[in-house]
Amino acid sequence: MWAKLIRHQDPGELRRGFEWLYGFVRPHWGSVARLLLLSLAATLLVLLQPWLTKMLIDDGLLARDYPFLVSIAVAMIFVGIVGTVLAGVNRLLHTRLSGTILFALRSDLYRHLQTLSPAFYGRQRMGDLMSRIDGDVAEIQRFAVDSLFSAFSSVIGLVGAVVLMVSLSWQLSLLVLVLVPLEFLWLRWMRRKVEARTRTVRERAADVSSFLVETLPAMKFIQASRRERDERERLDRLGATYLEDLLHLQRTEFFTQAVPSTLTSITRAAAFMIGGWWIVEGSWQLGGLIAFSTYLGMATGPVNSLLGLYVAVQRMSVSLMRVSELRGARVDVAETSAAASRGAPWAGRIEFDGVVFRHDDREAPVLDRAMLAIPAGAKVALTGASGVGKSTLVDLLHRHYDPAEGAVRLDGIDLRELAFADLRRAVAVVSQDIVLFRGTVADNIRYAAPAADDAAVREAASRAGLDGLVARLPRGLDTSLGERGQQLSGGERQRIAVARALLQDPCVLVLDEATSAVDEATEAQVIAAVDTLFAGRTRILISHRAATLVGCDLRVRLEGARLEIEPASAESI
């Protein structure tokens, strides 16, 4: 239905978007049906109020029948109380349903984002992603749920009001037939203007979010570079642009709604003029005119709401298309249905067999027919110039990417034949940028092995050399680290990462420039701890420091998209 209204967008893509959206509404049809019944009862009570007013004026007040007037007044009070109770219950149930569907939509989109490769996130602005996951998904949910109940209540209210208007005066009811086509034509003309302005405002909001996501974590660097004023002015410019486009949208929406409201006022004035003349002539009663005027307002209100949905779908379609772009992002690496779960323990033997890989945005390959065999339990130094692709090789090993040709194997098994959970439990990567979350020290150590008990966490922390840090913290392992654990030193962060890897119990440990942020003394301590704690397991060390790679069994250099084995005694990096 709605796809026909949005002719300039891809109907197929929009239809798939609506199918995705209402796939989360269908499981809640029971709750939807209950809310619709409550809406029906509430709407009928609202329609009853003007008729009671008519009876109170014409049959009670003007007829001088005081007992009847009292009975109608009591009935009006009762109807008002029941309507208030129904409205409260409806609001609670509606909030629960809306929240359930909102978080289900957001969870499904987040689940898809979890399947995307690092290359996708390298191309995206984090602020824009946040805007789509938060604002756009909320806009979609509001339309999916609120529009359903709004449309239902509007249809019931419109039909009821028209029926009661016709029963009061079929001649005056013809005014609605003039009003509706005029409002429809106006809203149809304004439709695309609202959509274009809405998309622009969404993009400007994403610009502001991206700026904040980029600069807030880098505030220390901004202060050190004396660029506070420049960044503040940049935010002011973004804010001014956003405000200007927001005001344009507000003006467009104002005129979109102002014209129908003006037409409604003119129609009601005409009804009073005609109906008033009939009262002066004595052919109609005052209560009838008041009731008719009320029903006219109740009829034009639903008409505006129904036609407003015509505009609202344009705003929502912008959000739906923005979310659909994320949902349509290509999954480069997918777990096959035939992926096997490994039960036996891993040895840790790694093979790169004729591996060819290049990034989509680069012509030169990162690996071209690369061959390498790493024995189980070996300590390997991986070297090469900056930007040559050493971290990409690790991403292939962790299966964030798949090779275009050839295979990467663990213990003779192609990684594409393994379940993600098994592979990423067997291979642990400690990178230069240690990821710490807002939570306790224990939570961060346990992150890769959430089922580990407190005793195992304490043992891993102790073996990783965290006893001194734990003793200094006010609540030990239960101390919250705050945002990204920024109050910790580089060495402490590294040791938490090592403890996390210990708890994961991998057969392969990769240190990808993991000690570049600490001094050489701390680095030596970390490497010594790794050699002791992970003795007998395959270790791959990537570093530009010669001291880091001392004592390796095998040296591999990535150069010219090939993996070349160097003599173990080589000193050059």
Q: What is the pLDDT of residues 57-112, one digit of tens each?
A: 888 777 778 888 888 889 888 988 998 898 888 888 888 888 888 888 889 998 88
Q: Are 277 and 215 in contact (CB under 8 A)?
A: no
Total tally of structural domains belonging to the chain: 2
Do 273 and 381 share a domain, yes or no? Answer: no
Beta-strand (E) ranges in 5-106?
Answer: none
- The phi, psi pair for 571, rounded to 5°, reads -105, -25
What per-residue confidence (pLDDT) applies to 1? Answer: 36
Tell me, what CATH number does 266's domain have?
Answer: 1.20.1560.10
d(CA 243, CA 468) in angstroms, rounded, equals: 51
336: in domain: no
* Residue numbers in the chain where pLDDT is lower than 50: 1-8, 570-573
Q: What is the pLDDT of residues 139-174, one digit of tens each?
A: 888 777 777 777 788 888 888 888 888 888 888 877
Q: Which domain holds residue 446?
A: 350-566
- Which residues in 236-255 are b (16+ Cβ under 10 Å) and which e? eebeeebeebeeebeebbee
Do 132 and 172 share a domain, yes or no? Answer: yes
The H-assigned helical ranges of 27-65 are 29-55
What per-residue confidence (pLDDT) applies to 570? Answer: 44
Tell me, what CATH number does 548's domain have?
Answer: 3.40.50.300
d(CA 264, CA 256) in angstroms, rounded, equals: 14
338: in domain: no
Domain boundary among 296, 327, 358: 327
Do 159 and 303 share a domain, yes or no? Answer: yes
What per-residue confidence (pLDDT) applies to 2? Answer: 36
pTM (two decimals): 0.70
Please give the full DSSP string across 402-468, using - where no structure is assigned: --SEEEEEETTEEGGGB-HHHHHHHEEEEESS----SSBHHHHHTTT-TT--HHHHHHHHHHTT-HH
- Which residues in 430-442 are b (16+ Cβ under 10 Å) and which e? bbbebebeeebbb
Domain boundary among 327, 361, 376: 327
What per-residue confidence (pLDDT) applies to 373? Answer: 92
Sheet holding 508-512, edge to edge: 427-431, 508-512, 538-542, 379-383, 554-559, 562-566
Query: In Å, how far from its chain's centre is CA 527?
Result: 39
